[in-house]
A and B are shown apart, each in its own frame.
Chain A
Amino acid sequence: MMRLHLRKLALGTLTLCVFIFAWKLVTDAKLISPVFFPGPERTYASLVKGLFGGPMLGQTLATVQRMVLGWLLASAVGVLLGALVGVSRRARDFIAPTLELLRPLPASAMIPIAIAFLGFSDNMVLVVIAFGALWPMLLATIHGFAAMEPRLYEVSVVLGLSRWQVIWKLALPSAMPLILASLRLGLTISLVLAVVGEMLASRDGLGQSILAASRNFRSADLFAGIVVLGAIGLCGSRLLSYAERRLLRWQAAQR
């Protein structure tokens, strides 16, 4: 198993080096004008300069903060509302179809509405992130509750559990796999919407900074910003998958 991983890592790193080298060759040969397409060294230099002493560190923190705040808001509201709707059959019948109807609506289409209400403000961006990331969690919680083993509901009646106890002790754990998967999806959506919101509302952050870089043809700064955004996305999804594995360990053992 260990050797397999090593082989994969070695081969993967090899390809990555080849790609970066090819990138360098293409830019050194000036196949694409360096004004638009910086080489790897210039991107790296701009990355280092921006992160150590430049404005990029602050922008990164601003974007991450926005993303995490919006995501936390969406998770709290999504799981809570989902639990309230999901635990009762009647509420599911009345409310779930409307929610399903709203699901395919692109979250970014809410941005103009949010601008109309809140103007170009930090709150507007936050509301858009929270609203967009809400749907997967809300619907996953409802589906998770609906898919709970029916006998568990019978057990809860026999034991005389209150509604909150049913949610906390039975339904939430059984819906956990779905909810955790939706949390990861929600984080991806949050990052996208944070970037879009910053671009549109010109709030301080990476989204606004890469847009400004592209308008001024500072392509190295632009690529450095994209690298940082990719790193944020990678770290976020890795952290959540790790949490997912830890939290679902009891389930894996059960199988």
Chain B
Amino acid sequence: MKAARLFQGGWRAALLPACIIVFAQVAAVVTHLQSDSLASPSDIAIAFAAVLFDGSLAGATLETLKAAAAGCALGVGAGSFIGILLGLFRIADDLLDLTIELLRPVPVVALIPVTMMLLGFGNSMEVVIIAIGMLWPSIVLARAAVKDVEPRLMEVSLVLQLGFLARLKKIVLPAIMPQLFMSLKLAAGYALVVAVTVEITANPQGLGYGIMMAQQALRPAEMFAYLIWIGAVGWMLSLLLNGIQRQLFPVHNQKGTQ
């Protein structure tokens, strides 16, 4: 829907970015730009083509996306599971709520030094950080979703004397599927952000490391090329997930966007 609106807006939406690009190009040409921190749009395009064709961009993107996907799957999976349990059993919620509320505000980046010490650099450290970062919001969203399930459905399951697993499979999961997907969608965007942050801060792999290296090598064109690509990856990811969401849950999506 966001993309549709972008194209509906047509020339109005495209005017500002186009103006900025033209202005930057003209300014760069007029001033004969020679800089360690700025680059003209045409140089950025050339640098982008260069990293695209030597394969470094694809490799870095793959590394980042793999870590983000693994962390996201782990975090959202575990978080949703815990959240469902907390939503179903009052007593579990009462027991764990305080601990969760105390652990939740710890910023994920504070875990970078710990995981660095315990796991060293590499994929596993990044995945663990992302998974922990995704865990808390998934718990909260899944718990809220379960508590929102129509109480009469729960009464039906009692009357039918469904066992725990049957109740989960036949009543609860179908009812909260749209919210679970919503939580996955939010987490995917956030996981990409965390992945890039971890790579910029510590972990020598992926897109974050690529942009950091371009800066330290004083190649501004390559740096901006990476920046724009990181933005584009995030944008395409959200576009893709929005599309899937519309396909899978057409009715609910309309409710959600209002």
User: Chain B residues near A219 (CB, 8 Å)?
Assistant: 117
Answer yes or no: B111 CB below 8 A from chain A CBs: yes
Cβ-defined partner of B200 (8 Å) among A93, A111, A225, A236: A111
Query: B108 interface residue, CB < 8 Å from A?
Result: yes
User: Are A109 and B196 in touch, CB under 8 angstroms?
Assistant: yes
A11, A16, A111: which contacts B102 (Cβ < 8 A)? A16
The answer on a CB contact under 8 Å between A196 and B109 is yes
* Chain B contacts for A214, CB-based, 8 A: 113-114, 116-117
Whether B54 sits at the interface, judged by CB under 8 Å, is no
Closest to A222 in B: B113
Q: Are B17 and A196 in contact (CB under 8 A)?
A: no
Q: Bound state CA distance, A236 and B193, in angstroms?
A: 22
Judge whether B15 is part of the interface by a CB distance below 8 angstroms.
yes
Q: Does A62 contact B (CB under 8 A)?
A: no
Contact stretch, chosen from B22-30, B91-99, B245-253: B91-99
In the assembly, what is the distance between CA of A246 and CA of B238, in Å? 35
Give the CA-CA distance A236 to B107 in the complex, in Å. 12
Q: Does B231 contact A (CB under 8 A)?
A: yes
Among the stretches A96-104, A152-160, A164-172, the one at the interface with B is A96-104
> Does B165 sit at the interface, judged by CB under 8 A?
no
B227→A109 contact, CB < 8 A: yes
A192 at the interface (CB under 8 A from B): yes
CB interface residues, A 84-139, toward B, < 8 Å:
93-95, 97-98, 100-102, 104-113, 115-117
In the docked arrangement, what's the CA distance between A7 and B113, Å?
A: 37
How many residues of B are counted as interface, with CB atoms below 8 angstroms from the partner's CB atoms? Answer: 59
Partner of A97, one of B13, B91, B112, B117: B13
Residue of B nearest to A35 (CB): B117
- Across-interface contacts of B91 in A (CB, < 8 A): 11
A246 CB to nearest B CB, Å = 20
Query: 8 Å CB contacts to B: which residues of A67-96?
Result: 93-95
A13 & B98 in contact (Cβ 8 Å cutoff): yes
Main secondary structure of the interface of A (DSSP, over half): helix
Query: B234 near A: Cβ within 8 Å?
Result: yes
Residues in chain A near residue B103, CB distance under 8 A: 230
Cβ of B208 under 8 Å from chain A: yes
Contact partners of A191 in chain B: CB under 8 A? 107
Determine whether the beta carbon of A192 is less than 8 Å from that of B235.
Answer: no
Q: State in angstroms the CA–CA spacing of A230 and B101 once bound together.
A: 10
Q: Is B256 an interface residue (CB 8 A)?
A: no
* Contact across chains for A101 and B235 when beta carbons are under 8 A apart: yes
If A100-B2, A199-B112, A226-B111 touch, whether A112 touches B200 (CB-CB below 8 Å) is: yes
A181 to chain B, nearest CB (A): 14
Asked if A15 contacts B99 (CB within 8 A), the reply is yes
Contact between B223 and A112, CB atoms less than 8 A apart: yes
Interface size grouping (class) on chain A? 35 or more
Q: Which partner residue on chain B sits nearest A234 by CB separation? A: B105
Contact among B111, B208, B215 for A108, CB-based, below 8 A: B208
Is B124 part of the binding interface, using a Cβ–Cβ cutoff of 8 Å? no
Partner of A105 from the list B118, B200, B234 (CB cut-off 8 Å) is B234
Q: Are A113 and B227 in contact (CB under 8 A)?
A: yes
User: A12-B95, A214-B116, A214-B117 are known contacts. Are A109 and B230 too (CB-CB below 8 A)?
Assistant: yes
Answer whether residue A213 sits at the interface, using C-beta atoms and an 8 A cutoff. Answer: yes
Q: Shortest distance in angstroms between A112's beta carbon and chain B's nearest beta carbon? A: 4
Best-surrounded residue of A15, A188, A215 (most CB of chain B within 10 A): A15
What is the 8 Å Cβ interface bit string for chain A, positions 211-230, against chain B (1 contact, 0 not)?
10111010100110110011
The answer to whether A12 and B99 touch across the interface, beta carbons within 8 angstroms, is yes
Min CB distance, A222 to chain B, in Å? 6
B202 (CB) vs chain A CBs: closest residue: A199
Beta-carbon contact of A113 and B223 below 8 Å: yes
Query: Is the CB of A30 closer than 8 A to any CB of chain B?
Result: no
Residues from chain A with a CB closer than 8 A to the CB of B220 are 116
Q: Which residues on the A side are within 8 Å of B32 (C-beta)?
A: none
CB pair A229–B107 under 8 Å, yes or no, is: yes
Q: Is the Cβ of A195 less than 8 Å from the Cβ of B189?
A: no
B12, B111, B215, B235: the one contacting A93 at CB < 8 Å is B12
A–B pairs, 19, beta carbons within 8 Å: A9-B98, A14-B95, A15-B95, A15-B98, A97-B6, A97-B12, A100-B6, A111-B200, A112-B200, A113-B223, A191-B107, A192-B108, A192-B197, A199-B202, A210-B110, A210-B113, A214-B114, A229-B106, A233-B106
Known: A15-B95, A15-B98, A106-B192. 17 other contacts (CB 8 A): A36-B117, A93-B12, A94-B16, A95-B16, A97-B12, A98-B17, A109-B196, A112-B215, A116-B37, A191-B107, A196-B197, A196-B200, A210-B113, A217-B117, A222-B117, A232-B105, A233-B105
